[in-house]
Structure 1
Amino acid sequence: MLDASRVIMGTYGQAYIDGVWQTHINKLEASVELEKRELKLVGNDWTVHKSGSKKGTGTMSGYKVTSDMIARGFTKFDIISKLDDPESYGHERVRLIRCMPDKIQLANWTAGEEVQEETSFTFEGYELLDPISAD
């Protein structure tokens, strides 16, 4: 049976860009999509699949605190995502390699409201640095 205390809360997530903790980030999402080639073979009534290239995409968002993303421009950087809920079986760190923004937000504000900043990006690889295991 699931021990509910072991469910990881995003509250304990952290994002690091090139080693610098981004304290203003409150959401990070990244995924890898695999391109599959469909193959139809004689004598087989099933379509089979061959692995193709991979594509990494993501989005990070949070409060605007500095002009770092504007100053960084379209240069590549690494992101380390860290989840470290004190009640979980451990912590997880994943490095997103060679991230590049899709667009840079230069202005997006409304009087009387906190300024939010969102950056979508692609990446060219990942590495599971610290896995979580129930062992």
Structure 2
Amino acid sequence: MPVLDPTRSIQGHFGEIWRDGVWLTNFYKAEASVDISYEKIKRSGTRRVGNKLGAIEMSGSIGGYKVTTEFAEQIAQAMDDKRGAFVCELILALKDPEAYGYERVRLKGVQFTKIDVMKFESGSIVEQEWPFVYDDWEYLDKISAS
């Protein structure tokens, strides 16, 4: 039975976040997930309840250091201009040089759900968390051991 080569486990040090083709160098963490709901279906002749696929919700967040006001200003301006929501594309990448390759995921139709207008704590580096929802995603590059 093969044993895990620990050097092939992926480390987050080499993660990158790109927004509309621009590397967001001050961001150091990202998460994107898909929440799948199921509806309970009662069935006659059995006590077992079935499950039917229901709504699918895609959400995530990016986080990093506060460096400029530019990001918050762009999102707020889009709402002020009455053009609707600020919509962008994010590419999340993991590129650990010891891994079996690298992985990149494109998140489409990203809309941020919260803006930190001002946030700080005396004696601490200012960090920001940007939660979002998105419409669709696709793998641009996949990691494979073969």
TM-score higher than 0.5 = yes
Shift of 1:111: 3.8
Identify the residue that residue 99 of structure 1 maps to in structure 2: 110
**Mapped contact 1:69–1:104 kept (Cα < 8 A):** no
How many percent identity over aligned positions?
A: 37
Candidates 57, 71, 74, aligned match of 1:72? 74
The 4+ residue runs of structure 1 with deviation greater than 4 A are none
Residues 33-44 of structure 1: matches in 2 within 5 Å? 33-44=35-46
Aligned length: 135
Shift of 1:116: 0.9
Shift of 1:28: 0.5
Residues 1-135 of structure 1: matches in 2 within 5 Å? 1-73=3-75, 74-135=85-146
Give the unaligned 5+ runs of structure 2: 76-84
> RMSD in angstroms over aligned alpha carbons?
1.3
Q: In terms of mean alpha carbon deviation, does 64-73 or 96-105 score higher?
A: 64-73
Scaled by the length of structure 2, the TM-score of the pair is 0.87
Q: In terms of mean alpha carbon deviation, does 15-24 or 39-48 score higher?
A: 39-48
Shift of 1:34: 0.7
